[in-house]
Structure 1
């Protein structure tokens, strides 16, 4: 039996053209067994499945190391401009399959494990997700790292190595219950600790002023940052970049008085408080929570990272001059720092502190370097999501940085008055220091002032930040503002997660689409090819059957694979309007019960996502969805025509199963609230059709595929704004639409919570009396669009053609395209990157690798 066809055209069954060499199966088996014996100290008789996974991970790691060393050597030799991507979140998911895919190892490893009597897919499932992110922002950072390595950019990701990532979600009696994500409990084979680069980070203390006016931050509490490096391999090019994550370590010194008075245990235990900085990821998405620990996390990231960046700059060929004092004038020519949202915004005053207080530069020179170095990506216009740190908190934790922010603000206000003389209202609006109530620092404003480029993440979002959030700043510096529409890596989100579709596409248009997603346009010529459309639907059917088996196995719910898989997966938030989806389910439930003999397209509505633990309304929405599902799924009249599934613990590895199986993607946020979205792109790339508002990247998706291939509904941004100004009265919509009123009354009267009829009263009151995100205003048009969806699904040929045209139009939404635009327009580097010599040669031999390590040791400072 052929193991490749037997395992459903495994993820690596597609031959990887242009990848290094045909891997030697015998050598992989030998290496696997060597690691099982000598690394894990096990034999086949006592080894567990996790031991086999770890042996496989170490085997793949061996193939990474020489590429990793050689890439860093090459960057040292060429000394290109380096890109530093600073993010509090990197939602990487699993590493094994992605690494095998990018290195072209999957086929050989699949065959090797088959000969050893093991199943690759079973070992892949053992790996824990690296869930160091809340949602889109962290997953975008992960996609960007993949694209930067694939394009050959000398790039580094910098973040925090949280002991506990985004919480594990359990659903108990319909409610979300959070459990800690102890993702490191079995170790992490994909990282390398670098204790030799331990760096001090300071907190608290006070500021001393010398007679010459120089400032010094003294009497601080010191915590050390220890880096852990994860290799980030490019696809098919032998490049291997680095993601460096910092963990907090307490100083080695003990409190001598405590030690001598017999309080040794207390002295040791006090170390835990210092190390709490990297203990846990804050689980809030699109919410700002001003806690001291969060501020310390943000500063911990930027302080350690900037020390590392400056050390690397000084150790580079350019920085290693005979001058006693490093010449920083070329710093912006060699360093580009991208701030992923405002979380790393303290990097701006921190770089100023280092340049002025430590390196001795004049303020004007340091500020010029700072602005030319930093660029800022805005991810939201929701006011509750914008960071505003209380002055009192900054004064206590980072007194010198508060002084620097005041100095930045003073000089900035002078510039504003130069351009707009006498306009004190404008000065009040634009000041970094907000005086209303408790004094706060607006961190988004700090990012705009301290960066040379500011970008939104979809065209409509970028226009909104110019006309709304940063209107005054746009009037002052229109040249700073840009758009960079988000993208996703086609390696993970098609090649890896959907091998059957990848194989079908490759058979028709070749393999170049993996690194040039615009090549998918070549599929448009097949839109009337009935044989191809049948093959396309056959692939979708196979993916749906596989996912239906997973749902049955994991959630104990049987679903019909021939029903429409209607899916909405994302963080639970009122603006994303999972409640509107829920209203559709209730409406459709009522329609089926009222007319059981009617023509109803069978649907399985799946909703998944995590709510921030402190977000009461979001958690109540999860309870409502599950309560509605319980009623719908147990109704004998409704039967299989409508099912509801809550996809518990939505995460990257589950997303890889969801997107290939989806028929319909719900992207239904209120127009003007979703910055971009990237889940919408993943659905599109995998052939799901979209029902959505003209919000975020939906607008550009619609342009690419044509409006006829998308189910568009709802108010536009301008209509939302106009309705808000006119005075939105949701009760009027409630009273004039009978179906809507019936749904809301059922929620209010306990139809889905008979044991506690008042349980969902708050949801009813909120929608009928307030409805901030205008669900009721869009309900009628949403129901119209859903009827169009059902009609299209019943026409198999039409649906297949629309699905094909969605895939074909996905090219724009590759993160490769996004990163090329960042490189060209913001970072000032060649968007095609730098190429390692002989990219298709075999990996280094053990002897050559040893020599490479020795050579790298001589260039330790540049690591």
Structure 2
């Protein structure tokens, strides 16, 4: 029997045993499930082998704690990493099954929202592909953030029920469940040995059940683990089953299960804030208990825990790792404070992702004390000891000590706790790290300069180039060989072809095909026809005022005004594409979405300009949608206010797919510029130093910008009835710009418009534009997450690769 025949027989048998159906009677969803189950059977053997090897070798392992893991669809990426994508495609085709249709059956896992979660997913992919023992720890959300629907141009939030058909990739590990405790009373009682014993009574128990997802390395035998925790009622808790009061039992069950119900519950009210804190402690406690239990099973004592275990916290959401590890080491293992603190600090490392004040988490003391009484006691002690340390360094400097305290003015400052309780604090781009050291965390840097370091973000080129853009990937391989797939830095050898006219035309042909694919998607979904000769100018990211989608929108309105005034205006046709979600409670961000859709309604239906200008908002942005968008983009809009974007990773995905960055000197844009050179990127706007200076001096006067007649006109049009919506619709947005303009939209408008004119001129010179695209692709290898994760492994975690058998273990490589 041939290999293909064996697969066909296995597929048919699996359909019967798993689903109780014949192959002819099964749906596309059924066939997707069967294929996933067959792959998981194959993966599981290597999963066990990987864990056994880690246990046997005793190398240090890393656990990456993140509130988000934005995985995207796993079928295609798993087939790619296993090296069997083309083989399975052919085998399925022989059964009359289209693999691409099966891929469409898989929902994007609702485990993340944006760059934070996608970065975590890229990191896990790179770690497994580099043979590094790095595992993820997060929450198994029943519902994702929300499914975004645009109704009359407004964002509407619907439940993202991504688990309605279950997940073929996860494995429930009920025997690995642990108990997490909330509320109650804590007493410290002396024992005969003179130590204090902790008694936690009247607490509220929650069962944390792990669901493990395999993380498959590329063409190697490594299969690491993403452990996601689900909240369930304790089976022996009397509240979970009460015949005399079934409504109480149902309420109890709902209250418990709500912990893992949804990503980022609304925190504009008290209950939502409490629920967010419950989520954070729930997965932190469950994850640490699981790690400790596994470690003790092999090693017995935790005295050397920090030598074999590293715990990394991705932003401040998992900072409760620090007091929770202290609790375990002291209360359960009987260690002294000093011993426990040394192990904790040596174990934990922290990545900061933002300088935005609202994103630097702080929790009211009253909430934390009531919800987590023992944890709060430990945080109080950490704060007291930390303040004593500060007094030793800065005696009498009360203002400095208060500003650095972990508990201050009725709040627990999570970033302060993260710095004090970890051995490493890293930013995610050069400028971000410098701003942390010189501004946001200046005092902490002065105290602990040795803790601070930079690790510029990266993306996995396997998903964002090899998988998302197969046409470009094949072209690259035909030009420089396939070594870049395993060593993305080798992409740099493409630079020698930047001036090659024939290769440039081949790159442009691939881009054209990708634009046509996206155009078909938009035609099918929205009924809007796009000109693929036009510049595809794309801004896809979370909708937030600092990311300045409103600046893009004002400029579009300005182009529209100029085209209406002069239909013969010499500009290249332009398609402006937007995607992204606004937080449900973020009023002004949701007005920006409505504004962009109003512009689309106005412009796309105007016979004078519609062949020159189009505006499309793609709803419900996701990883799988991004895989269609990034390869099709000509221009990458990275226009955040300088100093506000920590790094960005969308900029890297666009660059890797041959788009030219139009951006401010912010985040990783600066390092993209360093890599590609000034001639292959278009920079505009204020610098970070200028922005910070304006904040410090308060000298910016946005109304002075109204001297520009083009700007004054578009601002007036926001609320004078010009747009196809009630005149008052955008008055709040208008007023926020002329009265405050916190993010310098008006200040940067003229510079942005000039940059857009430069883009137009550059795109018209096709040879030059193709060369710019090639140079961006060539230099994108630096921004692979393989490079980033290698830097974490060497510089922070101090871990070694653990190869698992032959690195090329499948039929295809």
Interval containing the TM-score (normalised by the shorter chain) = over 0.9
Bigger CA drift: 590-599 or 611-620?
590-599
Q: TM-score, normalised by structure 2?
A: 0.97
1:26 match: 5
2:726 match: 756
Question: Any idea what the Cα deviations from partners look like across 1:274-307, whole Å, max 9, x if unmatched?
Answer: 1111111116799999711111100001111111
Would the aligned equivalents of 2:284 and 2:318 in 1 still touch at CA under 8 Å? yes
Would the aligned equivalents of 2:84 and 2:810 in 1 still touch at CA under 8 Å? no
Instruction: State yes or no: 1:339 paired with 2:313.
Output: yes
| Match for residue 147 of structure 1 among 86, 110, 126 | 126
2:373 match: 399
In 2, the alpha carbon distance for the partners of 1:731 and 1:697 equals 27
CA separation of 1:35/1:730 partners in 2, compared to 1, >3 Å: closer, same or farther?
Answer: farther
Instruction: State yes or no: 1:432 paired with 2:406.
Output: yes
In 2, the alpha carbon distance for the partners of 1:581 and 1:648 equals 18
- SS of residue in 2 equivalent to 1:835: coil
Instruction: State yes or no: 1:766 paired with 2:739.
Output: no
Would the aligned equivalents of 1:131 and 1:651 in 2 still touch at CA under 8 Å? no
- SS of residue in 1 equivalent to 2:220: coil
| Match for residue 768 of structure 2 among 780, 791, 798 | 798
2:45 match: 66
- After TM superposition, give the deviation of residue 802 of structure 1 in Å: 0.3
In 2, the alpha carbon distance for the partners of 1:545 and 1:613 equals 33
Question: Any idea what the Cα deviations from partners look like across 1:360-408, whole Å, max 9, x if unmatched?
Answer: 1010011000000000000000001111110000111111111111111
2:758 match: 788
Bigger CA drift: 204-213 or 281-290?
281-290
In 2, the alpha carbon distance for the partners of 1:43 and 1:586 equals 57
- After TM superposition, give the deviation of residue 639 of structure 1 in Å: 2.4
| Match for residue 295 of structure 2 among 296, 309, 313 | 313
Instruction: State yes or no: 1:839 paired with 2:813.
Output: no
- After TM superposition, give the deviation of residue 48 of structure 1 in Å: 1.1
In 1, the alpha carbon distance for the partners of 2:541 and 2:340 equals 42
Question: Any idea what the Cα deviations from partners look like across 1:395-426, whole Å, max 9, x if unmatched?
Answer: 11111111111111111111111112222221
Would the aligned equivalents of 2:268 and 2:585 in 1 still touch at CA under 8 Å? no
1:612 match: 583
- After TM superposition, give the deviation of residue 598 of structure 1 in Å: 1.9
Instruction: State yes or no: 1:778 paired with 2:748.
Output: yes
2:106 match: 127
1:580 match: 551
| Match for residue 48 of structure 1 among 12, 27, 37 | 27
| Match for residue 388 of structure 2 among 414, 417, 421 | 414
In 1, the alpha carbon distance for the partners of 2:802 and 2:249 equals 51
Bigger CA drift: 107-116 or 61-70?
61-70
- SS of residue in 1 equivalent to 2:304: helix
Would the aligned equivalents of 1:287 and 1:384 in 2 still touch at CA under 8 Å? no
CA separation of 1:129/1:440 partners in 2, compared to 1, >3 Å: closer, same or farther?
Answer: same
- SS of residue in 2 equivalent to 1:734: helix
Within 5 Å, give how 1:126-205 maps onto structure 2.
Answer: 126-205=105-184
Q: Structure 2: which 5+ residue stretches go unaligned? A: none
In 2, the alpha carbon distance for the partners of 1:181 and 1:89 equals 15
| Match for residue 680 of structure 1 among 631, 644, 651 | 651
- After TM superposition, give the deviation of residue 220 of structure 1 in Å: 1.1
Q: How many residues align?
A: 806
CA separation of 1:135/1:285 partners in 2, compared to 1, >3 Å: closer, same or farther?
Answer: farther
- SS of residue in 1 equivalent to 2:661: strand
1:568 match: 539
- After TM superposition, give the deviation of residue 65 of structure 1 in Å: 1.5
In 1, the alpha carbon distance for the partners of 2:469 and 2:270 equals 36
- After TM superposition, give the deviation of residue 842 of structure 1 in Å: 6.2
- SS of residue in 1 equivalent to 2:118: helix
CA separation of 1:198/1:724 partners in 2, compared to 1, >3 Å: closer, same or farther?
Answer: closer
- After TM superposition, give the deviation of residue 734 of structure 1 in Å: 3.4
- SS of residue in 2 equivalent to 1:411: helix
- After TM superposition, give the deviation of residue 268 of structure 1 in Å: 4.4
In 2, the alpha carbon distance for the partners of 1:219 and 1:817 equals 49
Instruction: State yes or no: 1:807 paired with 2:777.
Output: yes
CA separation of 1:765/1:841 partners in 2, compared to 1, >3 Å: closer, same or farther?
Answer: closer
- After TM superposition, give the deviation of residue 27 of structure 1 in Å: 2.3
- SS of residue in 2 equivalent to 1:94: coil
Would the aligned equivalents of 1:340 and 1:377 in 2 still touch at CA under 8 Å? yes
What do you get for the CA RMSD once the two structures are aligned? 1.8
| Match for residue 747 of structure 1 among 695, 708, 718 | 718
- After TM superposition, give the deviation of residue 648 of structure 1 in Å: 0.6
In 1, the alpha carbon distance for the partners of 2:14 and 2:366 equals 54
Question: Any idea what the Cα deviations from partners look like across 1:449-470, whole Å, max 9, x if unmatched?
Answer: 0000000110100011111121
2:328 match: 354
In 2, the alpha carbon distance for the partners of 1:741 and 1:172 equals 30
| Match for residue 219 of structure 1 among 187, 191, 202 | 202
2:77 match: 98
- SS of residue in 1 equivalent to 2:706: helix
In 1, the alpha carbon distance for the partners of 2:719 and 2:306 equals 59
CA separation of 1:149/1:256 partners in 2, compared to 1, >3 Å: closer, same or farther?
Answer: closer
- After TM superposition, give the deviation of residue 720 of structure 1 in Å: 1.0
| Match for residue 483 of structure 2 among 506, 512, 530 | 512
1:267 match: 249
In 2, the alpha carbon distance for the partners of 1:106 and 1:267 equals 48
2:356 match: 382
- After TM superposition, give the deviation of residue 38 of structure 1 in Å: 1.4
- SS of residue in 2 equivalent to 1:474: helix
Would the aligned equivalents of 1:548 and 1:559 in 2 still touch at CA under 8 Å? yes
In 2, the alpha carbon distance for the partners of 1:89 and 1:804 equals 33
Would the aligned equivalents of 2:221 and 2:805 in 1 still touch at CA under 8 Å? no
- SS of residue in 1 equivalent to 2:303: helix
CA separation of 1:285/1:514 partners in 2, compared to 1, >3 Å: closer, same or farther?
Answer: farther
- SS of residue in 1 equivalent to 2:231: strand
- SS of residue in 2 equivalent to 1:461: helix
| Match for residue 822 of structure 1 among 792, 808, 812 | 792
Would the aligned equivalents of 1:167 and 1:283 in 2 still touch at CA under 8 Å? no
In 2, the alpha carbon distance for the partners of 1:442 and 1:575 equals 23
Instruction: State yes or no: 1:276 paired with 2:258.
Output: yes
Would the aligned equivalents of 1:24 and 1:108 in 2 still touch at CA under 8 Å? no
- SS of residue in 2 equivalent to 1:270: helix
2:340 match: 366
Question: Any idea what the Cα deviations from partners look like across 1:479-523, whole Å, max 9, x if unmatched?
Answer: 000000000001000000000000000111111111211101110
1:233 match: 216
Would the aligned equivalents of 2:234 and 2:240 in 1 still touch at CA under 8 Å? no
Q: TM-score, normalised by structure 1?
A: 0.91
- After TM superposition, give the deviation of residue 149 of structure 1 in Å: 0.3
- After TM superposition, give the deviation of residue 58 of structure 1 in Å: 1.5
In 2, the alpha carbon distance for the partners of 1:125 and 1:796 equals 35
- After TM superposition, give the deviation of residue 259 of structure 1 in Å: 3.7
Question: Any idea what the Cα deviations from partners look like across 1:140-173, whole Å, max 9, x if unmatched?
Answer: 0000000110011111100000000121100000
In 2, the alpha carbon distance for the partners of 1:93 and 1:578 equals 24
Q: Structure 1: which 5+ residue stretches go unaligned? A: 1-22, 321-325, 844-863
CA separation of 1:265/1:392 partners in 2, compared to 1, >3 Å: closer, same or farther?
Answer: closer
Would the aligned equivalents of 2:240 and 2:253 in 1 still touch at CA under 8 Å? no
Within 5 Å, give how 1:525-544 maps onto structure 2.
Answer: 525-544=496-515
CA separation of 1:841/1:702 partners in 2, compared to 1, >3 Å: closer, same or farther?
Answer: closer
CA separation of 1:339/1:300 partners in 2, compared to 1, >3 Å: closer, same or farther?
Answer: same
| Match for residue 480 of structure 1 among 430, 437, 451 | 451
In 2, the alpha carbon distance for the partners of 1:822 and 1:543 equals 34
In 1, the alpha carbon distance for the partners of 2:271 and 2:648 equals 22
In 1, the alpha carbon distance for the partners of 2:807 and 2:746 equals 57
- SS of residue in 2 equivalent to 1:130: coil
In 2, the alpha carbon distance for the partners of 1:571 and 1:376 equals 23
- SS of residue in 2 equivalent to 1:242: strand
- SS of residue in 2 equivalent to 1:448: helix
Would the aligned equivalents of 1:285 and 1:612 in 2 still touch at CA under 8 Å? no
